[in-house]
Amino acid sequence: MKKLRKINRTKRKEDRKDAEERLATQAALMMKHPKECCICSKKFVRNQETVTTWQVTIREERVRLTCPDCWTILLEAMENLNET
């Protein structure tokens, strides 16, 4: 029978490896992000303001870029759905 410490160490090592793989995959997907808002087609110009205000959503293999105006509308719509 394996010792509990060795089992815990192995589990932590596997979890860390899985997290690193997930991060690498998502980082690669971020480099393939769209160049415009997925809702209003507003162009994404890379500068300090847009990088900090635009939202990037990654679900499975799908990357979506949303401008701040459309993101606000989406959040309000989600809140309305949750209230009903």
Residue 1 pLDDT > 60: no
Cα 28 to Cα 33, 39, 51, 61: the distances in Å are 9, 23, 17, 10
Q: What percent of the chain has pLDDT over 90?
A: 31
Tokens linked to 52: 């900090």
CA distance 37 to 67: 6
Residue 61 pLDDT > 70: yes
Residue 82 pLDDT > 90: no
State mean pLDDT over 10-27: 89
User: Terminal CA-to-CA distance of the chain, rounded, Å?
Assistant: 53
- Beta strand extents in the chain (DSSP E only): 55-59, 62-66
